Amino acid sequence: MPMLDLETHQLHYRIDGAEGPWLVFCNSLGTDLRMWDPQVAELSSHFRVLRHDRRGHGLSTAPEGMYSLADLGGDVIALLDALGIGSVHYCGLSIGGLVAQWLAVNAPQRLDRVVACATAARIGSAESWNARIAEVQAHGLPPLLGATAERWFGAAFRATQPGQVAAILESFAATSVRGYAGCCAALAAADLRTDITRIEIPLLAIAGDQDPVCPPGDLQAIAGSVGNGRVAVLPGRHLLNIESPAAFNAALLQFLQ
């Protein structure tokens, strides 16, 4: 179980594939690195795939206090530095997509191509995320399971793939309250709508056509704001990489190769 020891916490990571360019995947809020299993199964034959559990998620530990987007992006840079990796293709979903945008703005030399999925340059409002923090601190994560399942997966997928849905929701429920709340604080403060206009790295924005969290318009806005952006709209809700893995993998391969 590879772990990176940082000053305030540990990051759990995993590498798959032996050859090819580096491809880093960054998770959504309340998931662990296993959410990318449908991608690794196919793409590890083309890339060296690096995944990690965000601080406070999965097997990574949760430092005290609230986090910022710079903290989350800094964790990624620290991991790349520790592994001696210069530059990577980077794919992030939801809060992971915000980290992808932050890296493209603040550390463009570390990215070759960037993929921002089911995300926005500004997700929600400070008020909504602060209310989420208060709710989770008072009651924990299990009360959010039902609404989370509906936001993340379409009704047909929930009905036909109950095992996959249950596995993802299990990782959600296992997320530490401290880590979840800390990342909600990062979302409350994150607003990259002006900053992303400086991005010149080739960027693909992938939207789920039925995503209620970050609808296609949010991804089209990202692609239209950067210097070299394009958008793909695929079937699915928020976790479209799980709901439409074949289409998602094909879009990634086409863009990255």
Instruction: Note the pLDDT of residue 101.
Output: 98
Instruction: Note the pLDDT of residue 1.
Output: 87
- Walk me through the domains of the chain, giving residue ranges and CATH numbers: 3-256 (3.40.50.1820)
256 neighbors 113 (Cβ within 8 angstroms): yes
* CA-closest candidate to residue 151, choices 243, 46, 47, 218: 243
Show the beta-strand stretches assigned E in 34-122: 48-52, 88-93, 111-117
* CA-closest candidate to residue 99, choices 57, 45, 153: 57
Distance CA 166, CA 153 (A): 11
Distance CA 90, CA 252 (A): 11
**Cβ atoms < 10 Å from Cβ of 48:** 17
Strand-pair category, 3-5 with 10-16: antiparallel
Q: Which parts of the chain register pLDDT below 70?
A: none
Tell me how long the chain is: 257
Angle (CA) 220 221 222, round 5°: 90
Q: Please indicate, yes or no, whether the overall pTM of this predicted structure exceeds 0.95.
A: yes
Instruction: Note the pLDDT of residue 192.
Output: 98
Instruction: Note the pLDDT of residue 39.
Output: 98
* CA-closest candidate to residue 102, choices 132, 74, 130: 74
